[in-house]
């Protein structure tokens, strides 16, 4: 079996995670959390290690190959959720589901 090329799960706007503005830290949190989620590991029912994205991209019990282009697109969307526009989208979607985003209280 041919060895798979390791996917890079970074946004096309990854540099924005270094910004010190209002959304930079939030985008960084989303981007880095997604990167960590995609460290290859075993996911039931698959015997081979795969990333979270590869595990999600399946047809019944068969993995569907994920391209670097797809990995970058998904990472871009996940990071976007931390931006002002993405945050408004998250708040609206969660509100429609009966939830809301509240900040953690300072200790």
Q: Looking at residue 86, what DSSP letter applies?
A: H
In a domain, 13, yes or no: no
pLDDT score for 55: 81
Q: What percent of the chain has pLDDT over 70?
A: 89
For 45-71, what is each residue's pLDDT tens digit? 666 677 889 888 887 777 788 999 999
How many Cβ atoms are within 10 Å of 47's Cβ, its own excluded?
8
* Residue 17 burial (10 A CB sphere; 0-12, 13-18, 19+): buried
In a domain, 14, yes or no: no
The residue segments making up the domain with residue 78 are: 23-96
In a domain, 9, yes or no: no
Q: pTM of the entire structure?
A: 0.83
Number of domains in the chain: 1
More confidently predicted of 44 and 41: 41
In a domain, 41, yes or no: yes
In a domain, 107, yes or no: no
For 6-23, what is each residue's pLDDT tens digit? 899 999 999 999 998 888
8 φ, ψ to 5°?
-105, 120
In a domain, 56, yes or no: yes
Q: Are 78 and 30 in contact (CB under 8 A)?
A: yes
């Amino acid at each position: 079996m041919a060895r798979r090329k390791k996917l890079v799960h970074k946004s096309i706007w990854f540099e924005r995670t270094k910004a010190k503005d209002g959304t930079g830290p939030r985008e960084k949190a989303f981007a880095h959390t997604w990167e960590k989620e995609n460290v290859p590991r075993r996911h039931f029912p698959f015997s081979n290690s795969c990333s979270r994205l590869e595990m999600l991209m399946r047809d019944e019990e068969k993995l569907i190959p994920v391209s670097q282009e797809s990995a970058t697109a998904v990472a871009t969307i996940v990071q976007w959720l931390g931006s002002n526009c993405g945050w408004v989208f998250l708040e609206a979607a969660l509100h429609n589901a009966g939830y809301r985003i509240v900040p953690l209280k300072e200790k």
